[in-house]
Structure 1
């Protein structure tokens, strides 16, 4: 399982040109957070679609059962961190 999580993380980092990818360890209820300026000027729906393009294979083969996705630009992430 950890190898799959590492592979997903690596693919997301590559696709969105960022090291700021956080993924939970369990594939049953996977949580993904990606922080990248790639999402600049994108709607939330467009951002989600881009993430799903990377993980669809894992969903269709039932490796991932459910997923929660959060996406941020770098500025949004900084604001989010200040709120917490």
Structure 2
């Protein structure tokens, strides 16, 4: 029940339309990904809050269809 990288990107961009999303499949199994998400929506938010925003965008798929996501978030200086 692996999750496709394009689906992860689609979900994140659905919640954070200005986001730049880079995803790497770490193990080649569709279950272990690393993602870098850059968005102006992260400005003024703690790292924990930024990660919570991304996890919320994944709509409960973490731990199920998506087993592991190494997440890096970056706040941009202005709205895109």
Is TM > 0.5 for Structure 1 vs Structure 2? yes
| Aligned residues of 1:35 and 1:71 also touching (Cα < 8 A) | yes
Select the structure that is richer in helix. Answer: 1
Tell which structure's C-alpha radius of gyration is larger: 1
TM-score for both structures, normalised by structure 2: 0.74
1:30 is the counterpart of 2:33:
yes
- Residues in 2 aligned to 1:40 and 1:67: alpha-carbon distance in whole angstroms: 22
* Alignment size in residue pairs: 73
Deviations 1:20-62 (A, max 9, x none): 10111343221111111000000001001111112253224x2
Q: Which has the higher contact order (CA 8 A, sep 6+)?
A: 2
In structure 1, distance between residues paired with 2:59 and 2:71: 13
Local SS of the residue matching 2:35: strand
Distance 2:38 2:19 in 1: 8
The gaps in structure 2 that reach 5 residues or longer are none
Structural RMSD (CA) = 2.0
Q: 5+ unaligned residues in a row in structure 1: which ranges? A: 76-84
Alpha-carbon distance between aligned partners in 2 of 1:37 and 1:55, rounded to the nearest angstrom: 18
Which is richer in strand?
A: 2
